[in-house]
Amino acid sequence: MYKITLEWTEEGRTRSQTISDTDNTQEVGKIFIGRDEKKCDIVLPVGEKTISRLHVVIFYDFEQNCFFLKNLTSDRPQPNRVIVDGKTIISQQTNISLESVIQLGTISLRITQLEIIQSQESYGVECPNCHRHIPFDYLGDFCPYCGFSLQAGRTTFGTPDQN
C-alpha cells in the first residue's frame, strides 16, 4: 500500500496530484505520466512538445520495497530525455524517493509525499504459480512477483509476502 504526491509548475501555477494504490489508475501499481489523457494518470500540458504522450511510468517494486521510474521512450531512435535527481535516464530504471526531482522536458516534478504502508494480516489470494500471498487488490490482475494471472488463485489469510 502506498501514497505518492507529485508537485510541478505549469503555466505559472503550482499543481500537485496525489495517487494511492486504491486509486483507479491505468494499470494496478503503476503511475503513467505524459501528455495523453487516455493513457496517463498524471497529464502534463498538451502543448508541451518536449514531453511525450506516454513519457514515464512510476511503479512500486514489492520485492525491493521501493519506487522506481522507467523512461518509456527508450526504444525510440532518439528517446526523450528524463533526468532524475541530476541523472539522465534512458533505458535503465532508477529508484525514486521523497524529494526526488523528475525533469521531463521543461517540466520539473518533485515528490513531496511518499508513504509506503506495510500491510497487516489480511485476506488475500495465493498465486497459483509462485504460491505467494498477494493482497486482494491484485485479484483478476497479475502477480507482482512472477507475472502469473491471479484469476485462479485461492483465498488466503495472512501477511502478504514481502520477500
- Indicate the domain borders of the chain: 2-116, 122-158
Question: CB-based contacts of 16: which residues, under 8 Å, 6+ apart?
Answer: 5, 6, 7, 8, 112
pLDDT tens per residue across span 52-105: 999 999 998 877 878 999 999 988 888 888 999 999 999 889 999 999 999 998
- Record the pTM: 0.72
pLDDT tens per residue across span 31-62: 999 999 999 999 998 788 889 999 999 998 87
Question: In this structure, what C-alpha cell is assigned to residue 102?
Answer: 523528475
Pick the CATH number of 2-116 from 3.40.50.300, 3.10.20.30, 2.40.50.460, 2.60.200.20: 2.60.200.20
Quick one: average pLDDT of 108-117?
91
